[in-house]
Structure 1
Amino acid sequence: MTHTANNLIPAPGKFRSALAVAGAFLESLDYVSDYPLNRIERLERVVAQLKEELRQRT
């Protein structure tokens, strides 16, 4: 009986490492959600620059 009770108690550091994994996962979600926006903003700047170059040539 005590053997099964001991299995329910996690080893030291397991909870902390689980929190670290969850934190890393949440940070990666933040990066993934920002990535497309950063790409779109960069493309918008390039298009604006190309428009300006065309306007100067005409």
Structure 2
Amino acid sequence: MPYTTEEGGRLNNFAREPKVYTAEPPTKNEQRNYIFLGIGAVVLLGSLMFVAVSVSSVG
């Protein structure tokens, strides 16, 4: 664990704060990838729901 030294030589074991940076908006390529990932997630969840409903109704 990193320690910081205060004035007078005292050690402080509080966490160091990370550097702050501003987030950049996604590029067109990243936006397209997010759309494809969202569509894939919807298809996956839809197919899982279909399988769950079809298995539970068999009986």
Give the TM-score normalised by structure 1: 0.50
What corresponds to 1:28 in structure 2? Answer: 31
Structure 1: tracts of 5 or more residues without a match: 1-19
Which fold has the larger relative contact order, with Cα–Cα distance below 8 Å and residues 6 or more apart in sequence? 2
Structure 2: tracts of 5 or more residues without a match: 1-23
Cα-to-partner distance string for 1:2-49 (whole Å, 9 max, x where unaligned): xxxxxxxxxxxxxxxxxx56xx22221110111111101100000000
- The structure whose residues are more often helix, as a share, is 1
**What is the identity percentage for the equivalent residue pairs of Structure 1 and Structure 2?**
6
What corresponds to 1:39 in structure 2? Answer: 42
- The structure whose residues are more often strand, as a share, is 2
Provide the rounded CA distance (Å) in 2 between the counterparts of 1:53 and 1:29.
36
Note the 1:1-58 alignment, pairs <5 A. Answer: 24-25=26-27, 26-55=29-58, 58=59
Provide the rounded CA distance (Å) in 1 between the counterparts of 2:32 and 2:57.
39
Provide the rounded CA distance (Å) in 2 between the counterparts of 1:29 and 1:47.
27
CA RMSD for the aligned pairs? Answer: 1.6
Provide the rounded CA distance (Å) in 1 between the counterparts of 2:51 and 2:42.
14
